């Protein structure tokens, strides 16, 4: 079983790829928020919300059978 393919950043083919790229994009957004605001609280909130949205989205997609 392949965990990552080169095109998984466009359309993830398994839950691991979705989580991986979701967290990568969340970190990029967190860095952008930090550069813009320089506030740890705002950056932390953006990171936590991003991770929860990623996990929730992967769970929903897995539940409806997107990865099968």
The pLDDT value recorded for residue 1 is 54
Per-domain residue ranges for the chain?
A: 15-63
- Tens-level pLDDT at each residue, the chain (68 residues): 568 888 888 888 899 999 999 999 999 999 999 999 999 999 999 999 999 999 999 999 999 999 98
pTM above 0.75, yes or no: yes
The pLDDT value recorded for residue 30 is 96
Phi-psi region for residue 14, left (φ > 0), alpha (ψ -120 to 50) or beta? Answer: beta
Between helix 15-37 and helix 40-63 the angle, nearest 10°, is 160
């Amino acid at each position: 079983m392949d965990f990552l393919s080169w095109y998984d950043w466009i359309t993830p083919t398994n839950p691991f790829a979705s989580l991986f790229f979701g967290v990568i994009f969340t970190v990029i957004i967190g860095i952008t928020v930090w550069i813009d605001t320089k506030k740890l609280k705002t950056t932390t909130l953006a990171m936590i919300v991003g991770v929860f949205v990623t996990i929730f989205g992967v769970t929903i997609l897995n539940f409806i059978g997107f990865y099968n």
